[in-house]
Amino acid sequence: MNESQSNPFGKHSGVLVRQGAPFNAGPAPELLVRSFITPNELFFVRNHGDVPTVDPAAFRLTVDGLVRRPLSLTLDEIRHFPKTTVTATLQCAGNRRLEMMAVEPIVNELPWGTEAVSNATWGGVPLRDVLAAADPRSRARHVAFTGLDETERHGHRFCFGGSIPLDKARGPEVLLAYEMNGEPLPPVHGAPLRAVVPGYIGARSVKWLQTITLREAPSDNYFQAKAYRLFPPHMRPESVDFEQGLMLGDFPVSSVTCAPREGERLPAGPVTVAGWALAGGGRRVERVDVSVDGGTTWTIASFASEEAPWGWRLWEARLDLPAGDHEIVCRAWDSAAHTQPESPAHVWNFKGYVNNAWHRVRVRCG
Amino acid sequence: MNESQSNPFGKHSGVLVRQGAPFNAGPAPELLVRSFITPNELFFVRNHGDVPTVDPAAFRLTVDGLVRRPLSLTLDEIRHFPKTTVTATLQCAGNRRLEMMAVEPIVNELPWGTEAVSNATWGGVPLRDVLAAADPRSRARHVAFTGLDETERHGHRFCFGGSIPLDKARGPEVLLAYEMNGEPLPPVHGAPLRAVVPGYIGARSVKWLQTITLREAPSDNYFQAKAYRLFPPHMRPESVDFEQGLMLGDFPVSSVTCAPREGERLPAGPVTVAGWALAGGGRRVERVDVSVDGGTTWTIASFASEEAPWGWRLWEARLDLPAGDHEIVCRAWDSAAHTQPESPAHVWNFKGYVNNAWHRVRVRCG
């Protein structure tokens, strides 16, 4: 193991480990904006259980439920479908939870900063081709994924899972992936096979995929039916009514300043501000604005990377900062003219999901 | 003409006329929430020119541009395609401009309150069926509509027009409509034929449709190329760079309180607050929140109407208001967890488009 891979699972030393077991980690923000594609050794990890050991020869993907032709596919049979690649950013629904925790404490959830997001080129089979082979019945409305990773909640031990609407599953962008950035999918990212659902919260891109079940209703797995819901602001763990939570899938536009870092000291004068912006659901990031006067006036950032329909956009802005303390604020706009809310207090929820408030970095110049 | 239709074009006396020629008008907000479907006599009108006189017998719809089979269709031929109906809300991109004008004046634009929005059941032909008959070439990416209504801008006289992406045009929800709420399409709403593009700003639902042109690029009509763009906050008419504006189509989630009205005096005690909420692009309105303490705490509204995939949702909340002055604030959330920005100052733009800030109504109780 070399110096740059001193973290578990081959991760770079610049990866911040938020939890050892299960392993949860993401890259230092300033490493994220170095390249449009996040190298595998930097790509964030959000796991709910230990990484399962899978024997590729014994592996079978089951496709069942509301289908006319249930399937049990070996890895070779999966690779026999036409292969495609999609560049897509995955983001954990809990990314930027730390900013919400500063508004009011959030218990039993990972204190993600801005690092639970990364962009890769995924190689695999379009899910719709496998679904077509299984021939869904007309009643089917949702596609449920179950992984091989076990976790425990409220005294029950079960495998991680979730679901997406069948209409979404039929999009050409949704893959069963066995490659990540041209390499075999690493174990910590779901080898031998994972779902990749671009434009949806990361939790729907189920890793170590073992079963695909066509259903009338969304998955009844804990992580679809109870967790990963957006609850009203007054709700708390002790008062939760799960039915009042919005099941998260598609997510709202967000942006983050990665450089300079929070608390950084800089010489007064010109400074280049850099970050990423991401829209959900296939919408496009149209513009990123940066302010140093609390949102009274804005500088329009320029895009600093190539563009892919399901990928983030890296951006840069050149500011001239006099000596003193400054707060750098950024916000993005998507192609439906959605922008970000001003304050995490306005979108706070007790699970700390989808915080997309204006992002703020405080620096001292001179 | 009876008392309730004392406005031009058969419009109800409760319709507020913002401009006589061209005719621009919309219903008093409290009339809007009386029914899920807006009656034709109340439906808002946004016209850019005079209502053209069309001879139905001589009328032809032209489909041209990047197609293998250019078409020239009579009304009878259009009615020969299978008919469908879609319930869809249309909203002018300038709805709620008045709240932006209170932040900073906006010149040469209509001062819409909250009335430039209505919901109808449209009957007609799916656009995709007509496109399929014309057989688009593989280079085609956009579908441009041109109306028969003439207008003038900067010394040029031309017909109103706009375009939508071909992918959107192929959605089953996009119609060439000749019926509105079960009646023949009224002249002021585009008879004999109009586009209805659910989930997009109203300007793309071109009325008095005469030509559909398949193109590689969006329409070069003034109302696509220059107007109906979302410009950055610092831009003004004299400094406009059209290329820096986002071409509006899909629009952001919004909600409005229609009852009680602004400035209304109410008895102290229980009050029912009612309004509408609307999401763009086929996203669903998931929740509406109402606050009387400036957004510190929120009451969850209940939905008060049926639901249609492309329609608004009417909502109600029961509040208990003590004697004194109150500001009732509402905001909605869509299925991608987008919510509304707090202040119109944060989304102000010199054309006054897509204001979706928290909506505020001030009342006095007791």
Q: For residue A264, what is the DSSP state?
A: -
Q: How large is the average pLDDT for residues A96-116?
A: 97
Tracing tokens 């439920």 back to the chain, one arrives at A65
Best of B338, B342, B343, B358 to disrupt the A interface (most A CBs within 10 Å) is B338
B338 contacts in A (CB within 8 Å)? 252-253, 338
Tracing tokens 């509105």 back to the chain, one arrives at B180
**Can you say whether the dihedral through the CA atoms of B290, B293, B296, B297 is positive or negative?**
negative
Chain B residue with minimum CA distance to A357:
B341
CB contact under 8 A, B343 and A346: no
Chain A residue with minimum CA distance to B345:
A296
Q: What is the pLDDT of residue B351?
A: 98
Q: What percent of chain A has pLDDT over 90?
A: 97
Helix (H) or strand (E) holding B131: helix B127-134
Q: For residue B38, what is the DSSP state?
A: P
Q: How large is the average pLDDT for residues A19-25?
A: 94
CB contact under 8 A, B347 and A335: no
CB contact under 8 A, B246 and A300: no
- Residue A302 and residue A315 in contact, taking contact as beta carbons nearer than 8 Å: yes
**Numbered residues of chain A with Cβ closer than 8 Å to any chain B Cβ:** 230, 232-234, 244, 246, 248-253, 280-281, 283, 286-287, 289, 295, 297-298, 300, 333, 335-343, 346-347, 353-354, 356
Distance CA A265, CA A270 (A): 13
- Candidates B184, B218, B179; CA nearest to B196 is B179
Distance CA A345, CA A356 (A): 11
CB contact under 8 A, B298 and A234: yes
**Of residues B287, B333, B336, nearest to A251 (C-beta):** B336
Q: What percent of chain B has pLDDT over 70?
A: 99
pLDDT digits (tens, 9 = 90+) for B332-353: 999 999 999 999 999 999 999 9
Residue B4 confidence (pLDDT) above 60: no
- Residues 6 or more apart from B34 whose CB is under 8 A from it? none
B335 contacts in A (CB within 8 Å)? 246, 249-250
A295 contacts in B (CB within 8 Å)? 346
Distance CA A160, CA A154 (A): 14
Distance CA B207, CA B43 (A): 14
Residue B177 confidence (pLDDT) above 70: yes
Buried b / exposed e over B239-250, threshold 16 CB at 10 Å, is eeeeeebbbbbb
Q: What is the pLDDT of residue B2?
A: 47
Distance CA A16, CA A8 (A): 11
Instruction: Decide which of A187 and A306 is more confident.
Output: A187
To the nearest whole angstrom, how far is the Cα of B71 from the nearest Cα of chain A?
31
Provide ipTM, 2 decimals: 0.95
B281 contacts in A (CB within 8 Å)? 281, 283, 336
- Candidates A138, A168, A171; CA nearest to A67 is A138
Q: What is the pLDDT of residue B67?
A: 98
Going by pLDDT thresholds of 50, 70 and 90, the confidence category of residue A1 is very low
Count CB pairs under 8 A between chains A and B: 94
